[in-house]
Amino acid sequence: MPVGLDKLKHIVVLMMENRSFDHMLGGLRALDSRIDGLTGTEFNLDTNGGQAPATPDAKFQSQLDPDPNHHFAAVDVQIFDGDLSPTRQATMGGFVKSYFEQRRDVKHSKKIMFHFAPEKLPVLTTLAREFAVFNGWFSSIPGPTLCNRAFAHYGSSFGHVDMNVFYPNTIFKSVYQRLDAAGKKAKIYFFDFQSSTMEIVNLLQHQPQFFGSFDQFQRDCVAGTLPDYSFIEPNYSDHNGSGGEALLASDQHPDHDVREGERFIASVYNSLQANPALWESTALLIVYDEHGGIYDHVPPPPCTPDGAVAQPGQTGTGKPFFFDRLGVRVPAILVSPWVAKGTVVPGPNDANPRIFEHASIPKTVTDFFVDPNFAERSPREKAAESFTDLITLDVMRTDTPVFQLG
Amino acid sequence: MAIIKVPKTPASAFNPRRTPSDLIRQQIKHLEWALLPAAQRQPTRRKDGTLRWFKGGAVKTEAQAAAYIAVLTARVQDAYADYQARAARGLPRQQQKQARPGLLIVHEFSPVYRQIYGFTATAS
């Protein structure tokens, strides 16, 4: 076992909102050809038949308004370009058409193809190049936030592909319950009470003991009392703090300013790095819940069915969904001083591909902290990849970057 | 060791008057649902498709949503604590069930809420 893995005591997951891999990290291909980003030749056809190219013209705010549709039926159009035939292929050709439907403005619809130049996102792109970036981490469902986040907590969405209230009677225990039963500590840190959590119906309602605030996360980092497993939620809204100060949304959900999300990611990283004992014993995964309707060029691969069927009324496509295909690819980065600099985890377009999805989170955490043979998991979690094997170093790095917040 | 400077987000990015996203509206729905008595937690809808219990339609801005979410979050936690306390006191099972979530919390919040936050939620 590598020394780094032997030292590992804490796993922290920070889940951001609604940005695709290409949108945030696609520009990195020009700097490192191993990263499966954009070549500059990718395009969709707009509704007039003209080309809408993927260009580095993304803005921090006020560009993706209205919020791009990312409900199941719209994502189906984005992936399959509206083809509902039995022999259809995932072309990733329907993003512009899907966005056009919301404002019926051809020029505006092309903005869904835009991505950030790497220098505009210094935090995320630095972490991607300094640590391990995943070429093949996909959202679990080609759909919206809540069903995707459910996979991060349970390894399943219990047959749901939407935002409705669900899983009041869960079949599988949450990863927090599993750790608790094993005598380990786990916590969900939400930003503050005004931002709260997206994990309400089962977790907040029935397991409130697992929740804390981001202030508490920072205090736990200083005190060295971080739980074995931590899940962090960003600030979901612009609001005033208790002292009247302006607190900007940091979730990066359109139309929130992406720069504040960069600062939030850096603040989580800094909190860990500032405590040397914590830094050498912690792995931080930064991942996005889903693509938010924004373009990515890699077709989502098939996957192990989850044993459930979403009926046509739920999918909105007129067809059932068998949970046998992943959602659109999202940014994912594993940070640890024991991860080799410049690690690129191969994805579906690479040799020896590894496919990750949000069920990889409970899979990894349960394997590491509870029991690799823990049986009561969803089919998707059982089949999911684990990521602790990316911690390969025997000597801790001392060259890791430092973020200085202005 | 590289030092990366991360600039402040411009103050102009702050817009508490922004219309809440579908995500935030869903968050409110889930919180309201969690505060309903168990017997009322049915996924029934009105003719226009909105969920029957949803009162958050009066929330027009992110700041209002944030204030409302804070109240609801605290009450969900209080309701759980109250339920645990009743269970610990050994109340009969039927009474525990009746007491479980915060009864009438959503319906009674508006006068207090108006006093604190300056607007009133009305049924959508």
Strands A186-190 and A402-405 turn out to be unpaired
CA distance B114 to chain A (A): 17
Residue of A nearest to B76 (CA): A205
Mean pLDDT lowest for which of A83-92, A293-302, A373-382, B107-116? B107-116
Domain assignment present for residue B69? The answer is yes
**Domain membership flag for residue B106:** yes
Q: What is the pLDDT of residues A318-345, one digit of tens each?
A: 999 999 999 999 999 999 999 999 999 9
Q: Do B69 and A193 touch (CB under 8 A)?
A: yes
Looking at the domain assignment, is residue B15 inside a domain? no
Nearest CA among B40, B15, B58 for reference residue B102 = B40
User: Residues 365-404, chain A: which have Cβ within 8 Å of B?
Assistant: 398-404
Contacts with B, A 270-329, CB within 8 Å: none
- Domain residue limits at B80: 20-40+54-117
Q: How far is B94 from chain A (nearest CA, A)?
A: 18
Closest partner CB to B66 (pick from A146, A237, A260): A237
| Most B CBs within 10 Å, among A70, A162, A205, to test the B interface | A205
For A185-208, write each residue's pLDDT tens digit.
Answer: 999 999 999 999 999 887 888 888
CA B57 to chain CA centroid, nearest Å: 12
Residue of B nearest to A130 (CA): B2
Are residues A238 and B18, on separate chains, in Cβ contact within 8 Å? Answer: yes
B4, containing H or E segment:
strand B3-6
Would you call A122 and B4 a contact, using CB atoms and an 8 Å cutoff? yes
The pLDDT value recorded for residue B46 is 60
What are the chain A neighbours of B29 within 8 Å (beta carbons)? 165
ipTM: 0.94
**Count of A–B CB contacts within 8 Å?**
145
Q: Which of A260-274, A303-317, A335-349, B81-95 has the lowest mean pLDDT?
A: B81-95
| Residue A140: C-alpha distances to residues A120, A144, A159, A237 (Å) | 28, 10, 12, 25
B65's CB contacts (< 8 A; 6+ apart) are A237, B20, B24, B25, B28, B56, B59
pLDDT of residue B52: 56
Give the pLDDT band (50/70/90) at residue A402. very high
User: Which residue is closest to B21 within chain A, CA to CA?
Assistant: A67
B12 domain-assigned: no
Residue of B nearest to A260 (CA): B9
Among the partner-chain residues A164, A196, A402, the one whose CB lies closest to the CB of B27 is A196
Q: What is the arithmetic mean of pLDDT over A381-390?
A: 98
Extents of the domains making up chain A: 3-21+119-390
Quick check: is B10 in a domain? no
In the predicted model, what is the mean pLDDT of residues A238-244? 93
pLDDT in tens, chain B (124 residues): 789 999 999 999 999 999 999 999 999 988 988 887 766 665 555 666 555 555 666 789 999 999 999 999 999 998 888 878 878 887 665 555 444 443 333 333 333 333 333 333 333 2
Q: What is the pLDDT of residue B105?
A: 33
What confidence score (pLDDT) does residue B43 get? 56
Smallest Cβ distance to B6: which of A206, A262, A398? A262
Kindly state whether A89 is in contact with chain B, defined as any CB-CB distance less than 8 angstroms: no
Which residues in chain B are closer than 8 Å to A146, comparing Cβ atoms?
A: 26
* pLDDT attached to residue A244: 92
Residue B73 belongs to a domain: yes
Number of domains in chain B: 1
Inter-chain touch B16–A238, beta carbons under 8 Å: yes
Question: Looking at per-residue confidence, does B85 or A211 come out higher?
Answer: A211
Chain A CB contacts of B41 below 8 Å: 165, 168
User: Which residues in chain B touch residue A196, judged by CB atoms under 8 angstroms apart?
Assistant: 27, 31, 69-70, 72-73
Q: What residues of chain A lie within 8 A of the CB of B26, using their CB?
A: 145-146, 163
Residue B113 within any structural domain of the chain: yes
d(C-alpha A357, C-alpha A206), whole Å: 26
Give the whole-number percent of chain B exceeding pLDDT 70: 56
**Candidates B5, B26, B67; nearest CB to A163:** B26
pLDDT of residue B119: 37
pLDDT, averaged across chain A: 96
Each residue of A6-20: pLDDT tens digit?
Answer: 999 999 999 999 999
- Look at residue B1 and tell me if it is in a domain: no
Q: What is the pLDDT of residues A20-44, one digit of tens each?
A: 999 999 999 999 999 999 999 999 9
Residues of A in contact with B1 (CB under 8 A): 398-402
Across the interface, whether the CB atoms of A205 and B80 are under 8 A apart is answered: yes
Q: Is residue A177 scored above 50 in pLDDT?
A: yes
Q: Which CATH class is domain A3-21+119-390?
A: alpha beta
Kindly provide the b/e burial profile for residues B46-82, where b requires at least 16 CB atoms within 10 angstroms of the residue's own CB.
Answer: eeeeebebbbbeebebbbbbbbbbbbbbebbbebbeb
